[in-house]
């Protein structure tokens, strides 16, 4: 039976309107990054179906596929490395702000298909309990990133739960190697109750204030220090793309806004301790992967359903209007 993969046909579902990429345009950069993530989804399905739908997702933007990242257990394709063709021309002819990346390391999201579920869910579990460094996929991603940065400008990109993999690799490169990789995180998971969905701003502030007080209190009782990684990561500013209708990632909007709210009511010290820790990370003496000090936050408020809000295609939609926030940890 033929594979039903209309969403992976570039001419039907992709940003075919983007015929000339302006690399100084943030909308174009976002669209290309997400298309390369979609390419990894298509690569995994190409492995099982003979349609070969993946290539247009990178060829359309002048990239070539240089490496597929395979899982050593189920041989699934969870990531890929793409190289921009003729990068040297841009390197010598245009300013840095107008250049494409030389390499992009992209990771697909979790697959619910029977042949993928076991290993995908295993990585999700590692990410959930901040135990990702034991994952073979994290080790592969980190090894590739540390190699690629020696040769040129690198981007990281991931969607859904695999944006946490991109986040983990980017964090480790910044913290362990002092290298800040441009990172695009689409619908990254934030492990917290969905306070952002509450309509009353007063109720939201009250609940977050209580949460901060509890977290800071547990940190003090447990003797948790203000985490040094926040200092090391403060100047690394990844791009986060969230939809307020997506329970998977919507709390990031409140997480960053709450810092300013705590400062405004004179509880900045409590807020700083709380935003660097989670109850789980304190009790397990591990770093909470989803807690980051700085970000370029792009928020999409348009969605007819949770499925659409969590979907990949929203981020390359023509004429997409986003709310932008820039948060730099001091």
**What's the pTM?**
0.83
Q: Rounded to the nearest 5°, which phi and psi values hold at 279?
A: -55, -45
If you average pLDDT over residues 117-134, what whole number do you get?
Answer: 67
- Span 112-125, pLDDT tens digits: 665 665 666 666 66
Question: What six digits make up the tokens of 12?
Answer: 């039907």
**In the predicted model, what is the mean pLDDT of the chain?**
81
Q: What is the pLDDT of residue 113?
A: 67
Q: What is the pLDDT of residue 114?
A: 57
The shares of helix, strand and coil residues in the chain, as percent rounded to the nearest 5, are 50, 15, 35
- Span 135-188, pLDDT tens digits: 888 999 999 999 999 988 999 999 998 898 999 999 999 988 889 999 999 999
Please say if the pLDDT value at position 227 is more than 50. no
If you average pLDDT over residues 50-73, what whole number do you get?
Answer: 92
Number of CB atoms found within 10 A of residue 201's CB: 10
Name the pLDDT band for 214 (thresholds 50, 70, 90).
Answer: very low
Q: What is the pLDDT of residue 238?
A: 96
Q: What is the pLDDT of residue 213?
A: 47
What is the residue extent of each domain of the chain? 6-186
194, 202 in Cβ contact below 8 A?
no
What is the distance of C-alpha 178 from the center of its chain? Answer: 19
Q: Rounded to the nearest 5°, which phi and psi values hold at 301?
A: -100, 5
Q: Which of 289, 189, 282, 173 lies closest to 235 in space, CA to CA?
A: 173
If you average pLDDT over residues 10-27, what whole number do you get?
Answer: 93
Ranges 89-103, 200-214, 271-285: which has the least confidence: 271-285
Residue 312 per-residue DSSP state: S
- Averaging pLDDT over each range in 26-40, 179-193, 257-271, 301-315, which range is the top one? 26-40
Q: Are strands 239-243 and 103-107 parallel, antiparallel or unpaired?
A: unpaired
């Amino acid at each position: 039976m033929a594979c039903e993969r209309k969403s992976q046909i570039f001419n039907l579902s992709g940003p075919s309107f983007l015929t000339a990429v302006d690399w100084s345009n943030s909308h174009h950069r976002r669209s290309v990054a997400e298309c390369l993530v979609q390419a990894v989804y298509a690569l995994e399905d190409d492995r099982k179906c003979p349609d070969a739908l993946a290539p247009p997702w990178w060829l359309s933007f002048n990239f070539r596929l240089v490496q597929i990242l395979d899982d050593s257990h189920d041989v699934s394709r969870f990531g890929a490395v793409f190289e921009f063709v003729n990068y040297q021309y841009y390197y010598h002819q245009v300013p840095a702000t107008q250049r494409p990346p030389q390499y992009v390391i992209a990771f697909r999201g979790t697959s619910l298909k029977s042949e993928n579920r076991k290993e995908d869910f295993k990585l999700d579990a590692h990410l959930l309990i901040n135990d990702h460094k034991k994952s073979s996929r994290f080790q592969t991603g980190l090894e590739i990133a540390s190699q690629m940065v020696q040769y040129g400008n690198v981007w990281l990109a991931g969607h859904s739960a695999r944006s946490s993999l991109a986040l983990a690799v980017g964090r480790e490169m910044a913290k362990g190697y002092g290298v800040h990789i441009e990172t695009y995180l689409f619908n990254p998971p934030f492990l917290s109750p969905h306070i952002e969905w509450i309509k009353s701003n007063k109720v939201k502030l009250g609940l977050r204030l209580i949460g901060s007080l509890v977290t800071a209190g547990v940190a003090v009782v447990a003797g948790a220090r203000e985490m040094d990684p926040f200092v090391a990561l403060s100047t690394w500013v990844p791009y986060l793309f969230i939809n307020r209708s997506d329970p998977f990632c919507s709390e990031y909007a409140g997480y960053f806004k709450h810092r300013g709210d705590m400062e405004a009511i004179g509880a900045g010290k409590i807020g700083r301790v709380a935003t660097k820790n989670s109850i789980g990370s304190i009790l397990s003496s591990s770093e909470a992967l989803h807690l980051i000090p700085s970000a370029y936050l792009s928020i999409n408020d348009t969605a007819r359903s949770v499925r659409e809000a969590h979907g990949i295609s929203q981020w390359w939609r023509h004429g997409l209007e986003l709310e932008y926030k820039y948060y730099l940890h001091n």
